[in-house]
Structure 1
């Protein structure tokens, strides 16, 4: 395990699991682009599926927690602002759908 700790730049098991958590968040966050690309290819035009926003929120929350653990104010600020935007976009999409169904 010590070679893996050295490779990841961690000193103990707690740090190792935080790095794994952060990497999982980054993977989830990056997956949103694959989801968007597939949806656009299927539609034959650029689209932003709901899954894009859910992947953004899931990855953003994990990365925000990781940033708090790392005590990185730049990373914390960037993720917190992104989370607000992702949630707001979902709110706007749902509001639009409700209006469409009502009208």
Structure 2
């Protein structure tokens, strides 16, 4: 995975770097998504996809820094955001399920039959 795939503008690109570049792209794109969602709503918004992009980008960057570069600074930089994103995604999903249950119409089934 450390073999050179291509040299682009003097930068040696390997499979690990492609994984890292993809992670950085996903992690950064979440802010453009958040900006678009907030502009559309006319107030600050964080859509669920924000947390998904955060987790996916963090995981890919962690893979790059653990296996591709073996860099403890990069590992620490993406380890915490990955955990926070996972927790917030969990909260978002469970909150949505609880809201759906609360707003569901009562069941028409007779009790005890």
Could you say which TM-score interval applies, normalised by the shorter chain? 0.7 to 0.9
Q: Is the 8 A contact 1:5 1:16 kept in 2?
A: no
Match of 1:52 among 46, 50, 53: 50
Q: Which residue of 2 aligns with 1:102?
A: 101
RMSD across aligned positions (CA): 2.2
Note the C-alpha offset of 1:98: 2.1
Mapped to 1, the partners of 2:18 and 2:94 lie a distance apart of: 36
Q: Which residue of 1 aligns with 2:70?
A: 71
After the TM superposition, list the runs of 4 or more consecutive aligned residues in structure 1 that deviate by more than 6 angstroms: none
Give the structure with the larger strand fraction.
2
Mapped to 2, the partners of 1:29 and 1:74 lie a distance apart of: 17
TM-score, normalised via structure 2 length: 0.76
Name structure 2 gaps, 5 residues minimum: 103-113
Q: Bigger radius of gyration, 1 or 2?
A: 2
Name structure 1 gaps, 5 residues minimum: none
Q: Which residue of 2 aligns with 1:17?
A: 15
Matched residues, number: 98
Note the C-alpha offset of 1:6: 7.6
